Amino acid sequence: MLGLTNTFLSNRKLETLVENKTSYTLNNAALHVFETHQQAKKVLLKFDQPVLASMIEGKKVMHLRDYESFDFLPGESLILPSNETMCIDFPEAMRKKPTRCLALAISEDKINKVLQLMNETMPKHDSMEWGLMDYNFHFVNDMGIFQILQRLMFLFSEDHPSKDFFVDNMLRELIIRILQTNERKIYSNSTFALSSNSRLAFVIRYIREHLHESLNIIELSKKACMSPSHFHRVFKTELGISPIEFINNERIKLAVGLLQDSSRSIKDIYMECGFDSRSYFNRVFKSKKHISPGEYQSKVLKNRN
């Protein structure tokens, strides 16, 4: 979870109890920290540049045009286009438990320069160009994005003569990571048109339909009509993770569903998910869920009683 430094908290001015704003402005971006110390409803907010909003503390309920309302929680971020009006509820905010959110407004010129760089140096395999992301993209921060945001909060508030340069470098990495995360969402989304002509989409569909079978890079690369090394590189560029990581993620998602059934043994489940051994299944499951499969199943059953 993102955290505010004691220096920031002691230096900011608390002038209003609802969406009190502390701002830092540099050449290509402005960082705002909003704090709300009492319950409130239908608070309107809008930026004249594209913005990354990331929750620090507390809970918001977001209402966006043409989208269903959703809870916005710590560890999550939201990408919004310029001039998009947000309507926000603060159902739990109070003086001793405020809601805090970071809003990073980035100039469109900076975004366009990063897109140009990506298309020149890391083109997509399907000849399509990197373009503006699917705005109103709501996602959980991965470790890379979390660390960049934490670093940016420090850099914006630091009194350093070169901080514009430092922030510009961090912004470039942040935009690239977000665009790649957005691309992964497109491939991972169950509504993605996997019947399209994309060779990568075909392989993803094949993986999902054959999780119970042995899957290896050589066979998958043949189905994508690529060499193993090229397939691995393209897959990781497009989805941000290796083919093996993707396969294991899909298998664990399947395992989580099967573990809801108390009549299924762990052995039946790991074999149905395509794992060769229980020890490997346990290791992968624990790395993803921070709990063993047996403990997870017991916890599910206990919560039902």
Indicate which CATH number applies to the domain containing 250: 1.10.10.60
Q: Has this prediction a pTM greater than 0.85? A: no
Assess if residue 255 is contained within a domain.
Answer: yes
d(CA 199, CA 209): 15
| 89 and 146 fall within a common domain | yes
230: its two tokens: 């090229």
Where is the domain boundary, 188, 210, 238? 188
pLDDT, position 125: 60
> Percentage of the chain surpassing pLDDT 70?
91
| 160 and 49 fall within a common domain | yes
Q: Which residue has the higher pLDDT, 12 or 304?
A: 12
| 11 and 147 fall within a common domain | yes
Four-residue CA torsion sign, 88, 191, 130, 114: positive
Residue 192: band (very low, low, confident or very high) from pLDDT cuts 50, 70, 90: very low
Cα pseudo-dihedral 108, 113, 119, 122, rounded to 10 = -110
263: its two tokens: 């009549």
Q: Read off the pLDDT of each residue in 4-23 and give the average, rounded to a whole number.
A: 85
d(CA 172, CA 160): 19
Expressed as residue numbers, the domain containing 240 is: 199-304
Helix (H/G/I), strand (E/B), else coil: 172: helix
Assess if residue 1 is contained within a domain.
Answer: no
| 257 and 293 fall within a common domain | yes
Residue 197: band (very low, low, confident or very high) from pLDDT cuts 50, 70, 90: very low
| 68 and 167 fall within a common domain | yes
| 123 and 146 fall within a common domain | yes
In terms of C-beta density within 10 A (0-12 exposed, 13-18 middle, 19 or more buried), how is residue 43 classed? middle
How many structural domains does the chain have? 2
| 178 and 243 fall within a common domain | no
| 203 and 167 fall within a common domain | no
Q: Which residue has the higher pLDDT, 4 or 108?
A: 108
172: its two tokens: 């470039």
63: its two tokens: 């209402």
Q: Is 232 left (phi over 0), alpha (psi -120 to 50) or beta?
A: alpha
Closest CA to 221 of 202, 246, 239: 202
C-beta of residue 37 within 8 angstroms of C-beta of residue 98: yes
Where is the domain boundary, 160, 188, 216? 188
| 18 and 154 fall within a common domain | yes
Assess if residue 14 is contained within a domain.
Answer: yes
| 142 and 261 fall within a common domain | no
pLDDT in tens, 219-268: 999 988 888 988 888 888 777 788 999 899 889 988 988 888 878 899 99
| 17 and 87 fall within a common domain | yes
Q: What is the CATH number of the domain that holds 100?
A: 2.60.120.280
Helices 163-188 and 228-239 sit at what angle, rounded to 10 degrees? 110
Helix (H/G/I), strand (E/B), else coil: 74: coil
Where is the domain boundary, 134, 164, 188? 188
Assess if residue 285 is contained within a domain.
Answer: yes
d(CA 238, CA 187): 9
